[in-house]
Structure 1
Amino acid sequence: MKAILSENNSELPMHRMEQSEIVAVDLFCGVGGLTYGLQSSGISVKLGVDIDPDCAYPIEQNSNATFLEADVASLDAGVINGVFENAKVSLLAGCAPCQPFSTYSRAAKQKHGDAAGENRNKDWRLVEHFATLIERVQPDLVTMENVPPLAQQPVFGLLLEKLQRYWVDWRVVECQAIGLPQTRKRLVLVASRLGPIAIPDFEKPTLTVRSVIGDLPALEAGGQDPNDPLHRASKLSPVNLARIRHSKPGGTWRDWPVDLRSSCHLKDTGATYPSVYGRMQWDAPAPTITTQCFGYGNGRFGHPEQDRAISLREASMLQGFPKDYSFLPDEKSASFDKLGRLIGNAVPVKLGQVIGELFTEHVAKIHLHS
């Protein structure tokens, strides 16, 4: 675990609070995974901000927050201050998109060279813009989650510099340890102007794929549950249908007959991608849910038992969203690509919940000792 405490923290007065009500603004809110998780812990999220207009419906349909379509890079700090005007405790959350550090982005850099690097630098600045808003707003509490490689980037050091008058703690969290059924790692940062704060060790029981999606109706590849437009699976070509029938839960493409293997699998480099075209295991966590999780060939996204990739609903539930969470007003007609992007880019709900519980307990403790 990494921690920073400002040299000036001892000079900061402990805030006295009659109530522990926390009002939050969620920047880069996406479809509301963090918002929903924070609200489930008792935090009042008043505003969600994102540049993607598709995020308006899920934020306002599933939570009590108002959505603002805006670019955080040009967002006026006065908008946030207006939300916090009567708040006893203010929380600013900012989970900037992490595409600069994704596998796809690294591959793009190798393929396209400097041009890809320039685009990544632009994306990194989203974290810098978040740091600037912290400096201008000075909320009582701050949180950020992102991919672990961010910690090695200069922009992360800049963010920590902006938090010099806060107590700060950060660490890489194994999401299966917080009760999310995924082998997902996220960098989590929390900061407080109210007093010392620390991220605890999480040791919640591991949830399995079976415990989360095991009771959903069976589907065929290309099929859809008539009662749930999101419980639908993508089609499979004849060769991929043959491949998945030879795939074992937790196995690899090496389980297939040789005539079903693609040309890349027959090369030495193919051995470095054992999870491609893989099935999940019933009694283990799922792999990290990505924006392409609906495709059998995009990772270990094959259903543990049925001959298909996981459905969009199964993907959302493995991200921690409740079974009835609504992502778009017309989910039946929405493409797999659009829904996959919204679900795969979401902050897992459980992560938002444990962060919210950490802050509510922190504020209650400050109130108890003030």
Structure 2
Amino acid sequence: MSRSISTVDLFCGAGGLTHGFEQAGLPVKAGYDIDPACEFPYEHNNKAKFILQDVANISSSDLAEHFSKGSINILAGCAPCQPFSSYSRRYNDEQLKWTLCRDFARLIEECQPDIISMENVLQLKHHAVFEEFITELKKLNYYFESYEVNCLDYGIPQSRKRLVLLASKFGKINLIPATHQPEVYKTVRQTIEHLEPLSAGQSSKIDQLHRCSKLSDLNVRRIRVSKPGGTWRDWPQDLIAKCHLKKSGKTYPGVYGRMEWDKPSPTITTQCFGFGNGRFGHPEQDRAISLREAALLQTFPPAYQFVAHDQPVGVDLVGRLIGNAVPVKLGIAIARSILEHIHQVN
């Protein structure tokens, strides 16, 4: 390759996208995030430098410190849209979803990187801010393409659909073909069955992240009668919550469910450690999945550390880091697409 590559990861979180880029051979110089809890996992598991900074306050001169003259400069980012994210708490209901995407567009205009990667929720495509983003790319003479990605197609054992936009000054970037077909989609069994059994509220003595939440006596009774892939509708009447008996409750069949061994998991969220927060019950054991199991379903390596060994593991905090992350294998697929494009233009 005739030119070096410099990548900056905005909204880097705990490092899922960066780790995927590095595994694919795409170097990352720095990651920016507003959440101080991201610093340890980002720097401990990756070669890139973590910078604690609000994206609204980042300037082109900040990014210029990482972008080398003559190198191929890449700006990647996944602007969080969840109302419970650290960024979004700063904004009111109208602003919180898309303001960060506009900050991303501003930085693109100011520093004009050679290549852009954006990963986000599918819903973004149907909002005016996405059209604004596309208009900006056209104005700056980028070639671009957006893809609706099913993470199952890239070896991620999780039903998770995302929007991936790739743009370049050199030409269109094609997303690499799917690496997995439905008949060989990765399953929950292939991903977490090997881990030691736990009871609700128990922690592994070997892996501090392999710990699961406690269950109330009522939820212990509920999970014992829950079927893999089933819902609260399978329970005896005396175990069903009153809110589920209302008309509105019937629209939430995915809560209080178990995963199925031989299928992919549902989308891993920031609340995946709670039995009542989705279909996050272990397929066999009477508990919710552990933090390590959630991280593996997000395709983080088994040894990926989210907190230092001498620090307590906050379930809410680590759950947020895991659920907000870009799956590592999706990062690999995006990086491979970019690298193939760079090889072609060189």
Matches within 5 A, 1:97-112: 97-99=80-82
Distance 1:221-1:344 versus aligned 2 partners, 3 A rule: same
* SS of aligned partner of 2:98: helix
Matches within 5 A, 1:275-354: 275-330=254-309, 333-354=312-333
Distance 1:332 1:53 in 2: 14
Distance 2:41 2:91 in 1: 32
Distance 2:189 2:310 in 1: 25
Distance 2:29 2:102 in 1: 23
- Is the counterpart of residue 22 in structure 1 residue 28 in structure 2? no
Which residue pairs with 2:245 in the alignment? 266
Distance 1:315 1:119 in 2: 29
Q: Which of 167, 173, 181 in structure 2 is aligned with 1:191? A: 167
Superimposed CA distance per residue, residues 149-180 of structure 1 (whole angstroms, 9 cap, x where no aligned partner): 11111111111122111110002111111111
| 1:101 CA displacement | 11
Q: Is contact 1:291-1:344 (8 Å) kept?
A: yes
* SS of aligned partner of 2:209: strand
Which residue pairs with 1:14 in the alignment? none
Q: Is contact 2:176-2:336 (8 Å) kept?
A: no
- Is the counterpart of residue 69 in structure 1 residue 52 in structure 2? yes
Which residue pairs with 2:121 in the alignment? 147
Q: Is contact 1:140-1:193 (8 Å) kept?
A: yes
List alignment gaps of at least 5 residues for structure 2.
none
* SS of aligned partner of 2:208: strand
Matched residues, number? 339
TM-score with structure 1 length normalisation? Answer: 0.88
Distance 2:26 2:90 in 1: 39
Q: Is contact 2:10-2:33 (8 Å) kept?
A: yes
Q: Is contact 1:276-1:300 (8 Å) kept?
A: yes
Distance 1:170-1:100 versus aligned 2 partners, 3 A rule: farther
Distance 1:116-1:170 versus aligned 2 partners, 3 A rule: same
Distance 1:255 1:296 in 2: 15
Q: Is contact 2:20-2:331 (8 Å) kept?
A: yes
State the 4+ residue runs in structure 1 displaced beyond 6 angstroms.
none
Which residue pairs with 1:131 in the alignment? 105
Distance 1:199 1:331 in 2: 41
Which residue pairs with 2:185 in the alignment? 206
- Is the counterpart of residue 173 in structure 1 residue 140 in structure 2? no
Comparing 233-242 with 200-209, greater Cα deviation is found at 200-209
Q: Is contact 1:101-1:150 (8 Å) kept?
A: no
Which residue pairs with 2:20 in the alignment? 37
* SS of aligned partner of 2:292: helix
Distance 1:254-1:331 versus aligned 2 partners, 3 A rule: farther
| 1:218 CA displacement | 0.4
CA RMSD of aligned residues (A): 2.0
TM-score with structure 2 length normalisation? Answer: 0.94
Q: Is contact 2:18-2:28 (8 Å) kept?
A: yes
Distance 2:90 2:49 in 1: 35
| 1:198 CA displacement | 2.3
* SS of aligned partner of 1:163: helix
